[in-house]
């Protein structure tokens, strides 16, 4: 009987610990940013640039779009540092 209580207490403590870890974890933030020129790219930040407007979409938005021949063009090239695409050219902050 004593062993059963110890095991039950240990299981409850483990469950509480797991719940605390799950409750405090945050999902990674990733977006697809698009500008008015139709350039779209993956980003981890919601950056702003003077005089430029970006539309931010959830990361999985990419998979629900048609990228062949539309008004938008996905730029999958990765560039170091922060910046944005403008008319097919990477502009770094």
- Assigned domain for 90 exists: no
pLDDT the model gives residue 7: 58
SS (H, E, C) 47-68: CCECCECEEEEEHHHHHHCCCC
Domain that holds residue 43: 31-82
Question: Domain count of the chain?
Answer: 1
Q: What is the pLDDT of residues 82-91, one digit of tens each?
A: 899 998 899 9
Does residue 37 sit within a domain?
Answer: yes
Evaluate if residue 41 carries a pLDDT over 90. Answer: yes
Any domain includes 14: no
Give the tens place of pLDDT for each residue, 51-76.
Answer: 999 999 999 999 998 888 788 899 98
Query: Residue 35 domain-assigned?
Result: yes
**Can you say how many angstroms the Cα of residue 68 is from the centroid of all Cα atoms in its chain?**
23
């Amino acid at each position: 009987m004593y062993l059963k209580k110890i095991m039950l207490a240990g299981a409850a403590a483990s469950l509480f610990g797991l719940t605390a870890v799950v409750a405090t974890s945050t999902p990674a933030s990733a977006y697809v940013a698009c500008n008015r020129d139709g350039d779209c790219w993956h980003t981890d930040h919601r950056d702003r640039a003077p005089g430029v407007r970006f539309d931010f979409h959830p990361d999985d938005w990419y998979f629900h779009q048609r990228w062949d021949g539309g008004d938008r063009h996905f730029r999958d090239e990765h560039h170091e540092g922060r910046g944005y695409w403008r008319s097919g050219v990477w502009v770094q902050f």
